[in-house]
Structure 1
Amino acid sequence: MELKNIHRIYFVGIGGIGMSAIARFFNEKGVAVSGYDRTSTLLTQQLEAEGIRIHYTEDLEQIDRAADLVVYTPAIPATQKELVFYRENGYEVVKRSDVLQEITRELFAITVAGTHGKTTVSTMIAHLLRHAGYGCNAFLGGISSNYGKNFWSSEKPVAVIEADEYDRSFLKLSPDIAVLTAMDPDHLDIYGTEQAVEDAFIQYSANIKPNGTLLARHALPRAAELKGDNKLTYSLQNDAADIYATNIRMENGGYEFDVVEQDWMIDNVKLHIGGMHNVENAVAAIGVAHLLGISNEKIRAAVADFKGIRRRFDYLVKNDRVVYIDDYAHHPEELRALITSAKTLFRGKKCTVIFQPHLFTRTRDFAEGFGETLSLADEVILLPIYPARELPIEGITSEMIAGKIHGPEVKIMNRDAVPDWVRDNKIEMLITAGAGDIDLLREPLTAILN
């Protein structure tokens, strides 16, 4: 599978955030792109507006029978009619990760992996390279607020890729620069144990190309086992790391800080998005930009212009009366960073968190952690578990988390009941969090709070 030999490509599950980025890549290269997805969304509608043909029922009459390559996502069942047809009739059928593998072989690849922060760091890196005029092809797991997209192209043979650990797909990539943000246990339905998760991230670092660089968050577990001919660490403000922030000041819901390395320093960096963890994410992105020789002046300007990512510490309402933040956080550590940062930035405001647990297995594995983290809030509303790809597990419900929350008042309600509850209660700071369909609350809650 050489990219230059692909003239027609078909995607089964084209509407996924990762699949759509690859579809856009080929579409912009002049390849005939088409595909299937189960439902029409804003993202698939954008793809159609860009000239990509999409249908929404399993229909062998509408598939591309002349496709050189068929790409599918692991979220698609093996019994899906179109996928079965392509497999039984001798087409080349590959996973999304196989295409990214080829892209990392053919281009200078910067990949970002980790159980938290990878979408933000990869989007920051890609934005820095684009804004500075360096250029890159960006394959992202979120929608950049600067550009309204999860992909952009460049003639420069450089790719920034968010490396997803789900299904071990990131182990196919061979980066020139690999960023590693976190190794906390997650996806235990796939990996089984915490050690197996860590083993996979160590293997990720072993796949770096010769003379490549690993930029890993300082003090990761089993850090001594990480590979890479050149190894650097970054941190929020621990000066034992190679690159870190110092002199951090909070400013109007954002931050000003300096970034220090042994041989260089960038002062007065301004980041206009919330979340202290995003300062650390910016340190990682700045470290990559510096490795590529981008000047301090261009880095400073690019960070100041970074507007964030949809559903990553996303300010939907921010005024003297009320603050509303929406976030994709679906792991206890992500929730901890979200809630503590929000409470630090907006001290004195009552913190109400509406959380939708994602997956029965994740709820089962991390119920204690969710309870502990949500106890940081002043008030908690839990939605029913969003099942995604899973069937229910007996005894695993949102009540399991509720029983482990100590301190805040806790309510459990269906998503449709939330707008009326918000309208009837005094809200000072509201956080909605989760990776399911809780984002459907963004628009009605924004209208109510405004």
Structure 2
Amino acid sequence: MIKKSSEIYYFIGIGGVGMSSLARFCFSNGHQVYGYDKVYSETTKNLTDLGIIITYDSSILALSKKLLSKEVKIIYTSAIKSNHPQLKFYHKQGNQILKRAEFLSKICENKKTLAIAGTHGKTTTTSILTHIFSKTNQSFTSFMGGFFRNESSNFVKTGLDNFIVEADEYDRSFLKLNPTIACITSVDPDHLDIYDTKEAFIEAFKKFSKQVDDKLIVAFGLPISGITYGIDVKADYVARNLTLTERGYRFDLISPNQIFEGVNFNQLGRHNVLNVLGAIAVANQSGIDIKKILPTLENFPGIKRRMNVYSWRNSIIIDDYAHHPKEIESVLNTIRSFYPNKKNCVIFQPHLFSRTKDFMKEFCSVLGHFDEIVLLDIFPAREEAIENVNAYNLLEGIKNDQKKLIEKKEIKSVLESSEAEVFTFLGAGDIGEEITKLKSELIIL
């Protein structure tokens, strides 16, 4: 745990979703918090509004006299390269420097920690768990990897009895944690630029599972033993008799000790039923009565860019963070379930050259099942371009004649000219900003 006395923290990459919640935590504990980020964003604006001073200049000259001190604690994200001028300065000076994952693990030391891991679903599961803890009046601190809709903070604190965190597999960050209770939602290979092989990726999750102090909860069918959950399977927590409602789903919940009929959950997508089951299992195994949990599921606020549904003119627009073939498949299945008779169009912004290269075949396959496909250029994030890996090659591999590659400025004309009735904006880059541009014409559903 970090010291209680006031210290100075400088976050390099403060606009990242994981970094921003840690910055808020330090600020809430009375520490002086400063930060750097490459670009101005809604997240950095909200941090600035809170009172945190942020610079967008990476030079040493941008640092105030106070921040030149050797006593300043430095936290940086994996996206920051070792040649970053400020990071190099602090290393040379001998400041205490921690990666985001290392800092999070120190915060959670000797605390009852509930960690959610998995290739897909961890942000939604963590957020549902946070919602449950909030609505059942628990003492907790949560670091979410996403934002509740209509909320500007992904940090929630009512007390210190429980710490809720996302256990991120990128850069093997989750191996820094030793949670009390953990949930693994999925282990579909990803980040092969870090892990090299699919086998190494899965082995990392197995290693993480062995670091759990008390109870491990896993989605049914994973190659890891634990308390299980799933839909229409023989698991410890099961959703059965799943039916669609106007707002989401109704199902019967079978827990280890009891059956609960007619449970309502207000989010779209079968994958979100799995997420809510994981959250229910973690909350219940941490000591919360299921009878108190279930009423909270009807008013879950949802997460920004996770199956957000809007009405636009005479069409439906869905905004989702899906950036892995399996996630795109889940979104497609949801559209087919809730809008079976409507023509659909996907507007997809690939995220990372390495991921596009590693899963080119899978992307081509799943995208080809949409009625109409519109691609944007690859969002590079932290990466440099890879030769012959581009959106055009991805487009060429899609076996569907209704496809094209466009620039972002052409999106609105696509919406206006297409015969589709359901448009889906997908990707983990900046495609979500295009939804913001349409905000004045959107109605939240």
- Scaled to the shorter chain, the TM-score interval is over 0.9
Alignment check: 8 A CA contact 1:71 1:96 kept? yes
Residue 64 of structure 1 aligns to a residue in which SS?
helix
1:250 aligned onto 2:244: yes
Separation of aligned partners in 2, 1:408 and 1:439: 26
Percent of aligned pairs sharing the same letter: 36
Aligned residue number for residue 335 of structure 1: 328
1:99 aligned onto 2:94: no
Residue 4 of structure 1 aligns to a residue in which SS?
coil
| Post-superposition CA distance 1:260-309 (Å, at most 9, x none) | 12312333221112111101100111111211232334212211110210
Deviation at 1:349, TM superposition (A): 0.7
Aligned residue number for residue 232 of structure 1: 227
Separation of aligned partners in 1, 2:297 and 2:160: 21
| Post-superposition CA distance 1:214-249 (Å, at most 9, x none) | 0011111x32xx5xxxx20111221x1111101211
Matches of residues 296-445 of structure 1 in structure 2 within 5 Å? 296-317=290-311, 321-407=314-400, 409-445=402-438
Alignment check: 8 A CA contact 1:218 1:235 kept? yes
| Post-superposition CA distance 1:308-361 (Å, at most 9, x none) | 100011113279x42111000000000000111111111101111000111111
Separation of aligned partners in 2, 1:128 and 1:418: 37
Paired residue type of 1:288: V
Separation of aligned partners in 1, 2:43 and 2:136: 27
Alignment check: 8 A CA contact 1:378 1:408 kept? no
Alignment partner of 2:82 out of 75, 78, 82: 78
CA RMSD in angstroms comes to 1.8
Separation of aligned partners in 2, 1:154 and 1:88: 39
**TM-score, normalised on structure 1?**
0.93
Matches of residues 7-406 of structure 1 in structure 2 within 5 Å? 7-60=7-60, 61-62=63-64, 64-66=67-69, 67-145=71-149, 147-209=151-213, 212-220=214-222, 222-223=223-224, 226=225, 231-238=226-233, 240-317=234-311, 321-406=314-399
Separation of aligned partners in 1, 2:49 and 2:364: 43
Separation of aligned partners in 1, 2:322 and 2:158: 31
Deviation at 1:70, TM superposition (A): 0.9
Separation of aligned partners in 1, 2:3 and 2:187: 32
Paired residue type of 2:299: D
Residue 287 of structure 1 aligns to a residue in which SS?
helix
Separation of aligned partners in 2, 1:434 and 1:174: 31
Separation of aligned partners in 2, 1:284 and 1:256: 16
Alignment check: 8 A CA contact 1:419 1:444 kept? no
More deviation in 375-384 or 267-276? 267-276
Paired residue type of 1:306: F
Deviation at 1:68, TM superposition (A): 4.3
Residue 268 of structure 1 aligns to a residue in which SS?
strand
Separation of aligned partners in 2, 1:59 and 1:359: 26
Separation of aligned partners in 2, 1:430 and 1:361: 26
Residue 403 of structure 1 aligns to a residue in which SS?
helix
Deviation at 1:377, TM superposition (A): 0.9
Separation of aligned partners in 1, 2:312 and 2:58: 43
Aligned length: 439
Aligned pair in 2 of structure 1 residues 304, 148: CA closer, same or farther (>3 Å)?
A: farther
Separation of aligned partners in 2, 1:250 and 1:272: 10
Alignment check: 8 A CA contact 1:112 1:181 kept? yes
Deviation at 1:446, TM superposition (A): 4.8
| Post-superposition CA distance 1:12-47 (Å, at most 9, x none) | 111110000000011111111111111211111111
Residue 245 of structure 1 aligns to a residue in which SS?
strand
Separation of aligned partners in 2, 1:445 and 1:410: 23
Separation of aligned partners in 2, 1:18 and 1:152: 13
For structure 2, which runs of at least 5 residues remain unmatched after alignment?
none
Aligned pair in 2 of structure 1 residues 449, 110: CA closer, same or farther (>3 Å)?
A: closer
For structure 1, which runs of at least 5 residues remain unmatched after alignment?
none
